[in-house]
């Protein structure tokens, strides 16, 4: 900025009369979309979710397997697989916790959360929050791969995750709710990989895409009322990524 200096007696007066150099415009932050195919979706009996722990699951889904597990020995082996999964599988424990999530208008939905790791490596952090009831972590070291966890409790409405984007330090998760012919109560959990993040304070916003719901809704079914999502869907959340003082390298 330009200043005019005038001396009046013993008083120095400064006048501001215009900018000398225009401030450089801030660089526009790029918006990054997390590919849908990289997100792990879980619902009751989801194969994609259970495939994170293949050693705990077996399926009688081919003629050969049906024959194998129909013999007395095969039936016992299949029972042992189920017993082991019930005792040791993180996936099974998380599924049970989702099924048991409180329902009704008086049951408040907690926030989504971030965990360290991606895919199978994220299961322990999810287990600690949803099964053990632990407090979601708020701080993570830079240089670690992270995932966002989005979830809904059991409901008759259908839910579709439309997109997940990041602009700077703000994530946006967009979803749509639709009516379904099925009467089964279905929950949804999504493990969203976001990779390594630069140090900073991150916010995760959730947005219901009501403009897309009419085309997704089954013909003849009424739209889901506005406002019910707060009783069905996890709430927005935030977390911090801190730099490692011993490292000069930066995350992406």
What is the tens place of the pLDDT at every residue in 45-103?
899 999 999 999 988 889 998 988 899 898 898 899 899 999 999 999 999 999 998 87
Per domain, the residue ranges of the chain are 31-44+103-242
**pLDDT score recorded for residue 106:** 66
Q: What is the pLDDT, as a whole number, of residue 13?
A: 40
Check if the beta carbon of residue 190 is closer than 8 Å to that of residue 147: no
The whole-angstrom distance between residue 30's C-alpha and the CA centroid of its chain comes to: 20
Question: Running DSSP on this structure, what letter comes out for residue 134?
Answer: P
Tell which residue, 242, 46, 32, has the closest CA to residue 144: 242
Describe the crossing of helices 72-88 and 90-99 by its angle, rounded to 10 degrees.
70
Q: What tokens appear for 131 in the block?
A: 């099964």
| Token couple for 96 | 């049970």
Question: What residue ranges in the chain does DSSP mark as E strands?
Answer: 2-8, 11-18, 31-33, 40-42, 113-116, 139-141, 146-155, 158-167, 170-178, 186-195, 200-208, 237-242
* Exposure string over 191-200, b if 16+ CB within 10 A, otherwise e: bbbbeebebe
CA atoms within 13 A of residue 165's CA, in its CB half-sphere: 11
Cα–Cα separations (whole angstroms), residue 204 to 58, 168, 170, 177, 190: 36, 11, 6, 19, 14
Tokens 């989005």 label which residue?
150
| 136/199 Cα distance (integer angstroms) | 18
Greatest alpha-carbon span in the chain = 110
**Cα 229 to Cα 207: distance, rounded to the nearest angstrom:** 10
Asked if residue 156 lies in contact with residue 180, where contact means CB atoms within 8 angstroms, the answer is: yes
| Prediction pTM value | 0.82
Residues 6 or more apart from 54 whose CB is under 8 A from it? none
Q: Phi-psi category of 48—alpha, beta or left, where left has phi over 0 and alpha has psi -120 to 50?
A: alpha
Judge whether 202 and 251 are in contact, CB under 8 Å: no
Q: Which pLDDT score is estimated for 120?
A: 97
Whether the Cβ atoms of residue 129 and residue 230 lie closer than 8 Å to each other = no
Could you say which residues of the chain have pLDDT below 50?
Answer: 1-21, 249-252
What pLDDT score was predicted for residue 15?
Answer: 37
């Amino acid at each position: 900025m330009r200043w005019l200096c005038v001396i009046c007696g013993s008083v120095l007066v400064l006048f501001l009369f215009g900018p000398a150099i225009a401030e450089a415009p801030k660089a526009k932050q790029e918006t990054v979309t997390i590919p849908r195919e990289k997100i792990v979706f879980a619902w009751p009996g989801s194969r994609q979710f259970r495939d994170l722990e293949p050693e705990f699951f077996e399926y009688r889904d081919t003629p050969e397997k049906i024959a194998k597990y129909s013999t007395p020995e095969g039936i016992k082996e299949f029972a042992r697989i189920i017993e082991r999964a019930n005792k040791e599988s993180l996936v099974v424990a998380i599924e049970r916790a989702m099924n048991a999530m409180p329902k009704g208008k008086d049951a408040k939905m907690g926030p989504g959360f971030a965990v360290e790791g991606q895919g199978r490596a994220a299961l322990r952090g999810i287990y600690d929050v949803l099964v053990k009831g632990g407090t979601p972590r708020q701080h993570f070291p830079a240089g670690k791969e992270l995932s966002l966890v989005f979830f809904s409790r059991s409901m008759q409405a259908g839910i579709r995750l439309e997109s997940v984007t990041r602009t700077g330090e703000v994530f946006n998760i967009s979803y749509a709710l639709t009516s379904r012919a099925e009467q089964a109560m279905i929950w949804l959990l999504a493990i969203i990989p976001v990779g390594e993040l630069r140090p900073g304070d991150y916010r995760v916003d959730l947005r219901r895409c009501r403009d897309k719901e009419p085309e997704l809704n089954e013909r003849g079914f009424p739209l889901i009322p506005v406002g019910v999502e707060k009783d069905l869907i996890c709430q927005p959340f935030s977390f911090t990524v801190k730099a490692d003082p011993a490292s000069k390298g930066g995350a992406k």
